[in-house]
């Protein structure tokens, strides 16, 4: 930030402690008059933890819900909240890489759509649009306002301007603020890659499956499904159309994703085949961890513990092999191996799976580690292509691993 702007780079002990993906990225953060304004603090802090510099801008109405001092504390930067004759909006427009307005009220959306610049947030946003900078709006309001013809029209205008609208969750007669992680992931994807996946259709699987013995017992694995979910979200934020087929997970699936929930490996295959038969997909990314085994029979009632006559365990269907019989597009798989830190063995096992299952690309990761993989928000992986090309992805948040995997997918699709 230039010295004559009246602003200074924030200095905070939390910068980059979680990741450095956004190191050097300047984010202008607009806050408007909604009860959800208090959530801006968590989002700002999370962005800083990933290395970003955040500069808050707020409306007068926002000050009824959150103070200037709190936003200054959260960001470590001076807050632009009133017109002061210093052309602060101009400086922010030139120095900011993108702008986020969270929460964005109905009043803010309609003003932004029609270029009404009577407060610091819309003034800064209109200036940034004129400079061809990216804008993300995160609406929050009552459902009646969200569905009103005025807001619907404003949203259509903003979409024509290529403003990214992070869809709210509709519940309890409200258009509710999305999860903090969704907002941060959207900011990260757009600031680092933009909408470079626009026009691409992806089918992605995520999570474990459950192969039932009886109504209360099943075979499964510790997969959380986070890796596949991050792939779906990051792809969506980068402009792709995404269908997500997922097993049981403890995460909220965002409403903006076309999602299909399944239980068993057989159901996951059936859902994938149905999608592939009815839609065109440029690539299929099988990030799920379906169980390799199932019981030959399922009991209708709980089997008593003193009953030793259990059904035989047999192999489940191999989804990739079944898909490859008719799908000729790019097929990406995952190899979760217990390699004990032996990268040579990890790569050998992954290559064997790539060739056996018909993948064009496989992402290998060592799930024997405690700090990455199934139960962690971090991962470390190796991308291996059919031609033997390898790319090592160092330990990072799964959102950033997803971003890099999608980079490789895009590279292959361009060939």
| From the candidate CATH numbers 1.10.10.10, 1.10.3720.10, 3.40.50.970, 3.40.50.1950, the one assigned to the domain spanning 3-193 | 3.40.50.1950
Domains 3-193 and 201-300+309-414 share a fold: yes
Q: DSSP for 149-205?
A: HHHHHHHHHHHHTT-EE-PPEEETTEEE---HHHHHHHHHHHHHH-STTTT-EEEEE
Q: Where are the domains of the chain?
A: 3-193, 201-300+309-414
Alpha-carbon distance of 14 to 51, in angstroms, equals 9
Residue 1 pLDDT: 36
Residue 270 pLDDT: 97
**Which is nearest to 374 in space by CA: 207, 209, 224, 170?**
224
What does pLDDT average to in each consecutive run of 10 residues of the chain (415 residues)? 41 82 94 95 95 95 95 92 82 92 96 96 95 95 96 96 91 90 94 95 97 94 93 96 96 91 97 97 97 93 80 93 96 88 87 94 87 81 93 93 97 93
Task: Show Cβ contacts of residue 286 under 8 Å, excluding neighbours closer than 6 positions.
Answer: 205, 319, 320, 331, 332, 333, 334
Alpha-carbon distance of 297 to 311, in angstroms, equals 6
How many CB atoms lie under 10 A from the CB of residue 230? Answer: 28
What H or E segment, with its residue span, contains residue 351?
A: helix 343-357
Q: Is residue 121 within 8 Å of 30, Cβ to Cβ? A: yes
- Going edge to edge, which strands form the sheet with 98-104? 53-58, 26-31, 98-104, 134-139, 164-165
Residue 12 pLDDT: 66
Q: Is residue 166 within 8 Å of 178, Cβ to Cβ? A: yes
Q: Token match 């930030």: residue?
A: 1
Alpha-carbon distance of 72 to 54, in angstroms, equals 10
Burial grade of 387 (CB within 10 A; 0-12, 13-18, 19 or more): exposed
C-alpha neighbours within 13 Å on the C-beta side of residue 363: 29
For residue range 340-353, list pLDDT tens digits in order. 778 888 899 999 99
**Which is nearest to 284 in space by CA: 205, 385, 363?**
205
- Per-residue exposure over 141-174, b if at least 16 CB sit within 10 Å of its own CB, e if not: beeebbeeeebeebbebbeeeebbbbbbbeeeeb
What is the bridge-based pairing of β-strands 53-58 and 26-31?
parallel
CA angle 406, 411, 415 (to 5 degrees): 145
| From the candidate CATH numbers 3.20.10.10, 3.40.50.2300, 3.40.50.10300, 3.30.1360.70, the one assigned to the domain spanning 201-300+309-414 | 3.40.50.10300
Q: Is residue 101 within 8 Å of 32, Cβ to Cβ? A: yes
Alpha-carbon distance of 221 to 216, in angstroms, equals 16
- Please state the separation of Cα 223 from the chain's center in Å: 17
């Amino acid at each position: 930030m230039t010295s004559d702007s009246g602003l200074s780079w924030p200095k905070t002990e939390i910068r980059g402690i979680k990741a450095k993906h956004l190191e050097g990225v300047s984010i202008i953060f607009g806050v408007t008059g909604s009860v959800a304004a208090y959530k801006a603090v968590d989002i700002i802090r999370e962005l800083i933890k990933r290395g970003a510099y955040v500069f808050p801008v707020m409306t007068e109405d926002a000050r009824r819900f959150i103070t200037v001092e709190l936003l200054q504390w959260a960001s470590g930067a001076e807050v632009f909240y009133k017109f002061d004759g210093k052309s602060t909006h101009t400086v922010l427009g030139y120095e900011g890489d993108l702008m986020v307005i969270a929460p964005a009220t109905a009043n803010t959306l309609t003003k932004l759509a029609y270029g009404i610049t009577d407060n610091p947030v819309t003034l800064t946003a209109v200036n940034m649009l004129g400079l061809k900078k990216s804008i993300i709006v995160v609406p929050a309001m009552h459902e009646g306002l969200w569905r009103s013809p005025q807001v619907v029209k404003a949203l259509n205008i903003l979409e024509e301007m290529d403003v990214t609208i992070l869809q709210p969750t509709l519940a309890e007669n409200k258009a509710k603020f999305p999860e903090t992680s969704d907002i941060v992931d959207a900011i990260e994807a757009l600031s680092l890659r933009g909408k470079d996946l626009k026009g691409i259709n992806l089918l992605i699987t995520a999570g474990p499956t459950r192969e039932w013995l009886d109504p209360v017992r099943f075979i499964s694995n510790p997969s959380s499904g986070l890796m596949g979910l991050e792939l779906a979200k990051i792809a969506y934020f980068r402009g792709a159309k995404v269908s997500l087929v997922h097993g049981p997970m403890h995460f909220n699936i965002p409403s903006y994703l076309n999602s299909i929930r399944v239980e068993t490996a057989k159901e996951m295959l059936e859902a994938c085949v149905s999608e592939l038969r009815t839609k065109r997909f440029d690539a299929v990314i099988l990030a799920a961890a379906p169980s390799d085994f199932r019981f030959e029979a399922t009991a209708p009632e709980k089997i008593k513990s003193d009953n030793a006559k259990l059904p035989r365990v047999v192999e489940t269907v191999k989804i990739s092999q079944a898909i490859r019989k008719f799908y000729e597009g790019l097929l990406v798989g995952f190899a979760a191996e217990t390699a004990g830190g032996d990268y040579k063995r990890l790569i050998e096992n992954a290559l064997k799976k790539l060739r056996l299952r018909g993948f064009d690309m496989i992402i290998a990761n060592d799930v024997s580690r405690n700090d990455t993989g199934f139960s962690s928000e971090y991962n470390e992986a190796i991308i291996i292509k059919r031609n033997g090309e390898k790319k090592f992805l160092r330990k990072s948040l799964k959102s950033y691993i997803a971003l890099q995997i999608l980079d490789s997918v895009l590279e292959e699709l361009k060939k």
